[in-house]
Amino acid sequence: MKRIITISLIIIVIVGACTATLLLNKKKIEEKSKMDGNLKSIPVFVTKIAKSRISGDFTTNGSFSAIHELTLASEGQGKVVSLLFNTGDFVKQGQVLAKLDDEVLRSQLSLAQVALEKAKTDLRKYEGLLKNDAISSQQVEDARLFVTKSEADVVTLKKQLDNTTIKAPIQGTIVRKMIETGSLLMPGSPVAEIVDISCLKFIANVAESEAVRIKGNQKINLSSSLFPGINYPGTVVSVGVKADESRRFPIEIEVVNDARHPLKAGMFGTAAFSSGMERECLTIPRHTIIGSVKDPQVYIVEGNRAFLRAIRIGSADDKQVEVLDGLKEGELIVTSGQINLDNNTIITIVNAK
């Protein structure tokens, strides 16, 4: 009995201690909330927006893709009797990759050629009889039509026979093999994927202020972080005439691959454009931007409040960004403390204007 009473007293003490602790924590939380509520403004650092001269040189990032990439499909029909390639092989244009069973087609072609020779012989005989009025002109015309049909049959069968030999339409590397010896192919059946990276296409998107300074056939140096110090000379082959949703224009640069430092399709790279001229424009520190490059925003200061504003940007480097629209010279922009802000937040400017 005494043991039960003792255990009950211990439980009561523990429950009381827990209750007291919870009440104390609640009091501290309420006091902290009151203190937080007394913070009427958020301290921030600001700077005045101004124009500055920036270099006309700029870089843009993009990715490399193969100059030629295709899925080879069979034009013929039949069973694969000989397979002459494997994944990873480099093949030349016109190289035989596979052969289909052509025994039936060869027999049909032989018969068609015999039929053609007979049709030509018959036509010559009919033309001779026509001269002697021993046959009607309609019969001669029918013989001519039969010769034409026989010739078409021979051409068709020769083409079908040619299609039983599958050749590489381009040079490149086999990245995927889709058939095996014994596979039954129909016209259009996929055979292999071939990728040619002897030349590459560099695809990137640039701002409108950069796009107007890029010209077709312009010579460009490209680089890759995988091979520091190695430049790949390229030529601009296309500058987009329509912007995407982020108001950036696609460009395409063709570059010859370096056999000593080969790039692969899908790798990232950087293109360096040089104009040798400076220009004046509105700029802001890069770290002031909130959000992505597609939808950039900044906090501007009006009175004692900070407001979130969407802007449009152009060229950019590691430190500053060109502003094309959304800001005016002389406006104040938040440079530090924006992580604590919401739209229309009361602020206190820490540094001098």
This prediction has a pTM of 0.63
The pLDDT, as a whole number, for residue 351 is 82
Tell me the pLDDT tens digit for each residue of 239-272. 999 988 878 899 999 999 998 999 999 999 999 8
Query: According to the CATH classification, is domain 58-67+196-278 in 2.40.30.170?
Result: yes
Tell me the pLDDT tens digit for each residue of 208-231. 878 888 888 999 999 998 999 899
Cα end-to-end span (Å), the chain: 79
Q: How far apart are CA 257 and CA 112, in angstroms?
A: 50
Mean pLDDT of the chain: 86
Q: Give percent of the chain above pLDDT 90.
A: 53
Domain boundaries, given as residue ranges, for the chain: 42-55+279-349, 58-67+196-278, 70-190
H or E stretch covering 120 = helix 103-131
Q: Do domains 42-55+279-349 and 58-67+196-278 have the same CATH topology?
A: no
Q: How far apart are CA 82 and CA 102, in angstroms?
A: 11
CATH class assigned to 42-55+279-349 = mainly beta
24, 32 in Cβ contact below 8 A? no
The pLDDT, as a whole number, for residue 41 is 84
**Is 90 exceeded by the pLDDT of residue 4?**
no
**φ, ψ for residue 173, nearest 5 deg:** -105, 135
Query: According to the CATH classification, is domain 70-190 in 3.30.43.10?
Result: no
168, 84 in Cβ contact below 8 A? no
**Is 60 exceeded by the pLDDT of residue 28?**
no
Listed in sequence order, the residues at least 6 apart from 48 whose beta carbon sits closer than 8 Å to its beta carbon are 330, 331, 332, 333, 353
**Is 80 exceeded by the pLDDT of residue 42?**
yes
- When pLDDT is averaged across residues 94-112 and rounded to a whole number, the result is 95
Tell me the pLDDT tens digit for each residue of 124-156. 998 888 888 778 889 889 999 999 999 999 999
Written as one string, the DSSP assignment of 188-238 is: T-EEEEEEEEEEEEEEEEEEHHHHTT--TT-EEEEE-TTSTT--EEEEEEE
pLDDT band at 12 (very low <50, low <70, confident <90, very high): low
168, 95 in Cβ contact below 8 A? yes
**φ, ψ for residue 141, nearest 5 deg:** -65, -40
The pLDDT, as a whole number, for residue 352 is 60
